[in-house]
Amino acid sequence: MRASLARRAASAAKRKTLRIETANNATMDNRVMTKTLPISFEFFPPKTPEGAAKLRATRAALYAHKPEFCSVTFGAGGSTQEGTFAAVKEILAEGVPAASHFSCVGATKAAVREQLAQLQAMGVKRLVALRGDLPSGYGMGGEFHYASDLVAFIRAETGDAFHIEVAAYPEIHPQAKSAEADLQAFATKVKAGANSAITQYFFNTDAYFRFVDDAYKLGVEVPVVPGIMPITSSTQLMRFSDACGAEIPRWIRLRLQGFGDDTASIKAFGLDIITDLCDQLHSAGVPGIHFYTMNQADACSEIIQRLRLA
């Protein structure tokens, strides 16, 4: 992506055709997307048999949209490794490319080497390489301190066996010393061997376009795919956003708070907001969209259908 992406986005924003039908529960239509846009989905490993059954149903529904791949998260300190690898194995068996999240804080090189071999044996071709967070009460530990260390190690050990995704933070990682330091850390991950990046979710497209442009100035030319979080619960969204540093624009936060416990209105409003966000990104020429599904299919499917991405 080039620096012109932001300018194209501004032009696209002027062209967008948003029509809200208040008589039909505030649904948005008049969206016609003729260009195919790669999409992908993120899941978290279920903890119960019921959760596993629900996730299988969710995946089946979302496969209809022909995702480029589906990823599965990795718990703090590798705490969900068994569940992560099991879900990844199921996705591969269902005929869909799967990406395993892979965190390294607290890990040894020997352990990471063993896990990489296991993933290769399973047929995994894509990883989301992250520093990760240690469980509460643990120190830094391990032989890896940064995601760039992990990326470099994977490349040294496996060559080009994996397509490596890394994380990007348009609104700055909450633990970064500064915006510049965060941008440099991202560039270091890419130069260590990452093929592409997936962003933390955001609601302000300017932050994304600025991040991509600034990264390009540092020589980063890999695709930076926007991560998108559908809005289905205001309390959940605010809790997650406060924890990860994602900014909820004041007007969106106030509207959500104003709905109180009116779940239907929250979901309808959220669909309009996220559809519009994706519309702006797609019109500007982003390389794909990665949905944080929270193991639910309905909101993602509705957004994709409104945009006619599939």
What are the C-alpha distances in Å from 221 to residues 126, 207, 213, 215? 19, 18, 10, 8
- As a whole number of angstroms, the distance between CA 217 and CA 110 comes to 36
Q: What is the pLDDT of residue 19?
A: 26
Tell me the torsion sign for CA atoms 251, 257, 259, 264. Answer: positive
Half-sphere exposure of 148 (CA within 13 A, CB side): 12
How do the pLDDT tens digits run along the chain, 310 residues long?
444 554 444 444 443 333 222 222 333 333 334 358 999 999 999 999 999 999 999 999 999 999 999 999 986 555 578 999 999 999 999 999 999 999 988 889 999 999 999 999 999 999 999 998 765 555 556 789 899 999 999 999 999 999 999 999 999 999 899 999 999 999 999 999 999 999 999 999 999 999 999 999 999 999 999 999 999 999 999 999 988 889 999 999 999 999 999 999 999 999 999 999 999 999 999 999 999 999 999 999 999 999 986 4
Q: What is the pLDDT of residue 78?
A: 54
Write out the two tokens for 120.
Answer: 């290769």
Q: What is the pLDDT of residue 187?
A: 98
SS3 at position 34: coil
Q: What is the pLDDT of residue 74?
A: 86
Catalytic residue, chosen from 21, 42, 90, 171, is 42
Tell me the CATH number of domain 4-307, given options 3.20.20.220, 3.40.50.300, 3.40.50.150, 3.40.50.1000: 3.20.20.220
Q: What is the pLDDT of residue 35?
A: 56
The model's pTM: 0.88
Number of neighbours of residue 223 by Cβ within 10 angstroms: 15
- Is 180 annotated as catalytic? no
Nearest residue to 145 via CA among 181, 103, 192, 116 = 103
- Could you tell me the residue ranges of all domains in the chain? 4-307
Q: What is the pLDDT of residue 134?
A: 60
